[in-house]
Amino acid sequence: MKVAYQGEPGAYSEQAVLAVFPDAEPMPCETVRLVFSRVTSGEADVGVVPVENSQAGSVNETYDLLLRTSLVTIQGETVVRIDHALLAPPGARLEGIERVLSHWQALAQSEEFLGSLGVEMVPVHDTAGAARLVAEGADPTAAAVASVDAGARFGLTVLAEHIQTHPENFTKFAVVSTRDLDLGPPDKTSLVMAVHDRPGSLLASLAPFAQHDVNLTKLESRPRPGAPFEYVFYVDLARAASDDGVQAALKEVGEHTSLLKVLGSYPSHPSIF
């Protein structure tokens, strides 16, 4: 099975792929958009994409693509512990580091440590890609923020470990596909909606979930692509879409929304906290 992911070999996204599909053939992609493209075209059977980090919040690009892509649905999820290290070429010293490369989220997650060093932070497309660039450059003043495993893959020295500001740092990944993967009984549903532009519409669109005893575990607004200053709401429900209560709630919600799309109904990842 070919599984597309954003990043390079050694990235946290590759760890997510192998956590769900241990025997998969990982297919690295430069962007999340390319992951979706390869899944919809059939080049990849499945995609694994980041949806939320416990520190940095939602990955907006993923949610926007889920909204726009009609053929792809969420089939499952997994959570990867993010444990950053500062990696540099052999012989480099911590006090000599001037530039640090990594994905912008990894830089943000390690901002307290990096700020104490007074280094220039350089965003690149991926943590493992940053490790590769630092290894290829062999500059003792340059370092990367990535996993220890990525550092070992590219022959880098670990200058510091566990450098993220908050030790409990996790990223949730969605498994997306154009077909039913049967990863287990669904107990979670993700959807997106836009409410009518009139007083009380948001309240009226949320009330049916409470009335039918459906617990909402996420509610987040995002600008609606192509509609300036209009917003959509991303919602996670702690029930399967096929549940009678969810079906009844969605029917009533539809009366108060101009857009209502189920992004997927799938087995939730076990709690890790």
Catalytic residues: 171, 173
How far apart CA 145 and CA 213 sit, in angstroms, is: 44
Strand partners, 112: none
Residues in the chain: 273
Determine how β-strand 46-53 pairs with β-strand 2-6: parallel
Name the nearest CA neighbour of 65 among 74, 56, 57. 74
Residues ≥6 apart with Cβ < 8 Å to 199: none
Asked whether the beta carbons of 236 and 189 are under 8 A apart, the reply is: yes
Asked whether the beta carbons of 181 and 75 are under 8 A apart, the reply is: yes
Name the nearest CA neighbour of 29 among 20, 19, 46. 46
Name the nearest CA neighbour of 181 among 77, 55, 31, 38. 77
